[in-house]
Structure formats: structure tokens, C-alpha cells
Structure 1
Amino acid sequence: MANVRFVLLGGFLGAGKTTTLARLARHYTGLGHRVGIVTNDQAQDLVDTNNLRSQGFSVQEVPGACFCCKFDDLIGQIGQLQADQRPDIILAEPVGSCTDLVATVVQPMRDLYGSDFRVAPYAVLFKPSHGLKILRNEAKAGFSPKAAYIFRKQLEEADAIVMNRIDELSPADLDELTQLLTSEYPGVPLIPMSAKTGQGFEQLVALLDQEGAFGQRVLDIDYDVYAEGEAELGWLNLTASLSSEQAFDLDALLMKLIQPLAARLAAVEAEAAHLKLIGLDREGGFGVANLVSSQTGCELSLPSQKTVPHVDLVVNARVAIDPSILESAVREVLAEVSAGERLTLAIGNAQSLRPGRPVPTHRYSQAKA
């Protein structure tokens, strides 16, 4: 694996990491590079993995815990990509509720596998819908101070902060965001970008192509607060299939599912960190619907523009609510929409949980030279 470029891209749940990784993969592939991707989740059946594979990328997945706690699995999955595809570049997407990645992933990669990998600068995507409220210290920022602690720590260890989703911000909010980040994280480069439209993307590429003493910001972090903040989120990964004798509009179905679910969560004041649905038809088509906060609307982020008689559905929900209540709500909405649309519903796998305490495989107390 000598001289493989390793790009780790951080950011909170719903910050836009998967969209950014897909754009990066297309960019590097267009330059003639072979690209492999490793995704990461607390459970099996990740929407992001299905999404990226459906776009034609080579993807391996590390489930069950963050990269920091599954470091050896991360190396193993990179090895699998190497055996299958011999990539020049590895793109890695960690769990969105994870932090302390410089000490537990970047530094071990540099120290233990420095002869195999060239580690890129560590960029962290900023999520405006929750981030502006957290940086403003609003009383109702959507999450408790312990969950907000994780959000802030992610930014603190970044080599650069990527202000994503600028296409959704007003000029006034963008100016305020720039001032807040400059004040709280002085000296850290800021990159305004929209992964969706491509605006500012070339600045991110220029950063990731740099060589030098990056990945040096080892955190002073309270793992008790970190663990309690992660455990406030209910986690659900669920698969299902929906079918009918008559073909139906896949994109319309995804919106009919995600909108009432978002309404149910809002009714009980359960803040959504990220809610994602991907519908996969049996001819290779797919559509994706998203909700990135309780204050923003549901979005058909990747339309399929297909009419199909059958769809395989994957639901990922990360919400500040008891995971058993979350699972019940998803099952109820699936049943109600299926009945209303006269679809046959079959539930597959379902995993609902609260993330456990992070126990890193390696943790460097200070950066290696």
C-alpha cells in the first residue's frame, strides 16, 4: 500500500460528508486515480454505503463502532480495497458523532503506517443548521450541552473547517458564521463550500493535496462528557422492502415516508441529527431523502426519477430520543404509508441502540513530529 493517499473527512451528523466524498471521488477518478472509500457506523446497513456503491464507487464498511475503536478493522478494510482495486486514494468517512480522531486515527496512521500512507490534512465539515445555534450559545440549540461538546471538539481538532451548505445560508448568516469561527478557532483556515453545487470545492481539493505537518491538534477531551453526549442520540438502522402489482413513483414514496416521520419527531420535540432514507430498485436505480435538523425541511437529495414495482429501503435515523421509541415511530409510518399506497411491506433487519462509550484502539497523548 506504499504511497496511498489517506483522506479522513470529519463532521457532525448531517454535515454533508457523504455528498462531499462522492464529489471528491468523482474529481480524483476524473484525474485518472483509482479511489476506494471506507464508511463507518455504529450499526450495520448504512445508507451512505448503499448510496456510494450505487454511484459506482468501491466501498468497504466498518460497522459496530467508530474508526477510533475499530482501528484494526479500518486497516483491514483498506487492505481489502487494496487487494480488489489497488486504489491510489482512500477516502474515509467516520461516524458523525465521533471526535478525537486526530489522536486515535490520524496519529496512529502516521506513526504505525507512515511507510504505507500519505495522510492528508484533516478537514472537518461544519453543519450550519445546528452549528450556528451552538456557536451562538442559544438555549435551544437542538441538543444538550454534552452533545454540543462533541460538535465543538470536532472543530477544535481540524486542520481546516469547511463551512458546508453555504448555498443554504443568507449573506448575513455566512458573515456571522465566519466571525464566530474566526473568534473561537483562531488561525484555523476556513473554507466556504457547497458540496451540493460545487461552489468552493476547489479550495477543499487544494487543501487535501497539501503535504506537511498536519494532523497535530491532539485534544484535551473529557471522555465522560463525550460518551454521555453520544449516548443521548437514539440510533436506528432498518431495512424493508415495499412492492406492488402497479408501478409507483419511487421519489414520491420516499417523501411520503420521511415527511410524516419528521412531523412525529417534531411533535415530541425530538431533535433530528440526521434522518436518511435510500430506496434501491432492482435495476440499479436509487433515490435518497434527507432531514438534517428538525428546523429544516425534508429534501429529496438524490432523486431517482424512476417508477418501479418494488423497492428495497434502508432507513438510518440519529435522533435525540429513546431508540425503542424511534424504531416504533419508523415502523408505524412504514405501515401507515404502505397501507395508504396499497403496497406490500416486509421489514428486514432492524438495529436500534444508543452508542456505547468510546474505547479507542490507540490514543496518542501528543502528536508525533
Structure 2
Amino acid sequence: MPNRDKIRFLMVGGFLGAGKTTALAALAQRLTVQSNRVALVTNDQAFDLVDTQILRQGGFTVGEVPGACFCCKFDDLLSTIEELDDREHPQVILAEPVGSCTDLVATVIEPMRQIYGQRFELGPFTVLLKPSHGMKILSGRPAGFSPQAAYIFEKQLEEADIIGINKVDRLSDDQRRDLRTLVADRFPKKRVLELSGRDGTGVEEWLELLSQERVETEEFIEVDYDTYAIGEAELGWLNCQLIVEGTVKFDLDTILVALAAKIADRLRDVDAETAHLKVLGEGGEASGLVNLVDSNHAPELSVASRASCERAHLVINARVATAPEILERELRAAGMQLADEHNLHLDWRSVQCFKPGRPVPTHRITGTA
């Protein structure tokens, strides 16, 4: 796939909870089997990103750009890739931007092509569509987000070269058909794939498309940065670590699911729509992961630890449509409920809770060279 003289740069975007990390892991595995040296770069508004830890536990080489989106940390993105190149000499970089970010063609892809084209070879830009919120937003129904946050969701799809309807293994045939119809009606010129990183649906076809050279951008999307900034700022962002200790051994997976369920219940009670909640737990050498991608579904144990322990280290990432102070209050209250019911002690550490600031891209190129 890659030009041996350049690093192949493939970026995969999509809204919070779209399944980017799982899909990228499946893609990286396929590329590795084809004898490519692959590295991944994750991105978040804060530190302590669950995605980075999960990918590293999967055996992948991963760099991280924390503190803001790729567009606002473009120089950090480049330096992270350079560090990976010095250590591992990857032929392919898979980049996962923040799920609330858009305008990535003008602020990341075009700067890569027009300023650093001698260093990078660009493939098509994929945006993964999150079915649960996508069905509602594209059909004009309430999705639990403000119009400004929904604006980001739609702009992400508008600038994609490839739209991947993700997590199709969880959809019925009717749901798949309805989503494809909605996407085709709204974005008739887009290449649309049905994908699942979990069971591999569509990944080979996706890989074939990504082996092609990206067609030069002819029309750049218009982005109202005031609307964009309001939409991002309406999402509360929380990353934290905590130590869970019991007087006797506890089942780690049970505790992870119970904590996520209590957080979800409390957020639902205050009408706060969850964009994504991840709870990673490590007990000894075993790890478990629980995901929640909206308020209408129960938390899912995505990775089972099958561990019994007296002490565990948890990392929580939550992206929720509410004020940061409400998010932190409800999360801590859920933790207290869990501790009382299971006779546990929680030691909260490294809590970061905030709303993202206005995006200020390092570069924004909206014309061809």
C-alpha cells in the first residue's frame, strides 16, 4: 500500500461513540498482516485517554496528542509522528481525531498535502457514522443534543471522502437500509460502506478503498466557527482515574458494569445525553472495558477481564451534553452509590472536567495549491 519514500497518512473521524478505536484496531491488524509497519495516533481534549491504553494493550504502537484536537495541535501531531518514525519507522499512520472535531480537511489534510507533501502520502478521509444518534439527527428527530452539536455531526459527514455506517452487526436489515437511505438522500455523492470493527464486516472493502490516492479537494465545506464552538462547548468532558479497594475480592467486570450503569442512570435523570462513556478497569494483569454510547442503551462489557481482585485501577472518560460541574457531580455520586452497595473504598485521582474551548486551528487551507 504505502509509497516507501513517504509515510501513508490515513485519518478516520466520526462523532463521539462512533466506534473509531475498534474500527482502527481492525484496520491496523489487517494492514499488519499485509506486512505493513503501522502506528496509530490518538487525540483528545484532555489526558488519560482510554483509547490509547486499549490500543497499546492490543499490541499496537500508539502515540497520543492530548490537550486539544489535531487541528489546534497540528504541530504536536507532526512531532508525535516524527517520534514514532524515529522509533518504529511506520509505513502507515492511522490517526483518530477528537470525536467533536470537524473541518479536518482544511485544517489537517490540506496542510499535510500542501505544506508537508514531500513527507506524507494521503489516503481517503473516512468518517464513521454512529447509528444510534445518526438515525435521529439525519431524520430531524431529537437526539438529546443541541442543534449546534448536531451541526458538528452533520459537518463531519459532509467533508468525508468515505462514510462508514459503523456497528452494522448491531443493526437489523431494516435499520441498515433506512440509514443508507438517509445518508444517500443527504450526501448523494459520497461513497458509503457498511462496517463493523467487531466482526470485520466491510473491512476488506474499506482497506481496498484506502489503498487509493486521495482525490484532491475541489470543494471545501463551509464551517460556521461560532456554531461549531457553541456545539463543542455544550459537551461536558471528564477524564479521571480512581483506585477501587475492597475488604474482600470483588469481580472486576461486575463493578465496571455497575458503575457505568449508575452513571448512566444519574445522567438520564438530569436529562443529560451521553455521547460516550468508557470505563477501563485494570486488576493485576487483567483489564476490562465498558462502553456506553447513548442514553437509550445499557452499558456494554466490550472487553471482559474475568478478574477477581481486592484492588483495581479505573480510568473513566465521559463526554456528555451537560455542564462540566453537573457531569462531575453525578459521576462522583454514582461512585459513592457503588462504594456503599459493594463495600468498597474509592480514591479519586487526576480528575479533569471542563468544556472544550473555541477551536483555533494552526492552519486552515481552503484552496488548492
Task: Give TM class, smaller chain.
Answer: over 0.9
Q: Which runs of 5+ in 1 are unaligned?
A: none
Would the aligned equivalents of 2:39 and 2:94 in 1 still touch at CA under 8 Å? yes
In 2: Cα distance, 1:215 partner to 1:54 partner: 36
Matches within 5 A, 1:1-369: 2-138=5-141, 140-214=142-216, 216-283=218-285, 285-368=286-369
In 1: Cα distance, 2:131 partner to 2:216 partner: 25
Q: Which runs of 5+ in 2 are unaligned?
A: none
1:119 Cα deviation after fit: 1.0
1:2 Cα deviation after fit: 3.8
In 2: Cα distance, 1:335 partner to 1:59 partner: 34
In 2: Cα distance, 1:124 partner to 1:18 partner: 12
Does 80-89 or 124-133 show the bigger shift?
Answer: 80-89
Q: Deviations over 1:106-144 (max 9, x none)?
A: 000111111111111000000010011011111x22211
- Give the SS at the match of 1:161: strand
Would the aligned equivalents of 1:289 and 1:301 in 2 still touch at CA under 8 Å? yes
Would the aligned equivalents of 2:244 and 2:344 in 1 still touch at CA under 8 Å? yes
Q: Deviations over 1:194-227 (max 9, x none)?
A: 1111111111111111124155552111000000
In 2: Cα distance, 1:263 partner to 1:15 partner: 21
- Give the SS at the match of 2:140: coil
Would the aligned equivalents of 1:34 and 1:87 in 2 still touch at CA under 8 Å? yes
RMSD value, Cα:
1.4
Would the aligned equivalents of 2:122 and 2:214 in 1 still touch at CA under 8 Å? no
In 1: Cα distance, 2:36 partner to 2:9 partner: 13
Would the aligned equivalents of 1:122 and 1:214 in 2 still touch at CA under 8 Å? no
Does 171-180 or 16-25 show the bigger shift?
Answer: 171-180
Would the aligned equivalents of 1:102 and 1:217 in 2 still touch at CA under 8 Å? no
Would the aligned equivalents of 2:247 and 2:343 in 1 still touch at CA under 8 Å? no
- Give the SS at the match of 2:152: helix
In 2: Cα distance, 1:273 partner to 1:295 partner: 11
Kindly tell me: are residues 288 and 228 of structure 1, through their superposed partners in 2, closer, same or farther at Cα, counting changes over 3 Å? same
1:315 Cα deviation after fit: 0.5
In 2: Cα distance, 1:346 partner to 1:206 partner: 47
Residues matched between the structures, number: 366
2:32 partner letter? T
- Give the SS at the match of 2:343: coil
1:36 Cα deviation after fit: 1.1
Would the aligned equivalents of 1:5 and 1:88 in 2 still touch at CA under 8 Å? yes
Q: Deviations over 1:212-270 (max 9, x none)?
A: 41555521110000000111100000111112353321111110100011011111111
Would the aligned equivalents of 1:232 and 1:321 in 2 still touch at CA under 8 Å? yes
1:337 partner letter? L
Would the aligned equivalents of 1:280 and 1:287 in 2 still touch at CA under 8 Å? yes
Would the aligned equivalents of 2:25 and 2:197 in 1 still touch at CA under 8 Å? no
Alignment identity in percent? 50
1:319 partner letter? V
- Give the SS at the match of 1:351: strand
1:349 partner letter? S
In 2: Cα distance, 1:109 partner to 1:302 partner: 35
1:246 partner letter? V
Q: Deviations over 1:157-176 (max 9, x none)?
A: 00010000112222222111
Would the aligned equivalents of 2:283 and 2:308 in 1 still touch at CA under 8 Å? no
Kindly tell me: are residues 136 and 338 of structure 1, through their superposed partners in 2, closer, same or farther at Cα, counting changes over 3 Å? same
> TM-score when scaled to structure 1?
0.96
Would the aligned equivalents of 2:239 and 2:315 in 1 still touch at CA under 8 Å? yes
Q: Deviations over 1:267-323 (max 9, x none)?
A: 11110010111112332x211101101112211111122222321111011101111
Structure 1 outlier segments of 4+, above 4 Å: 214-217
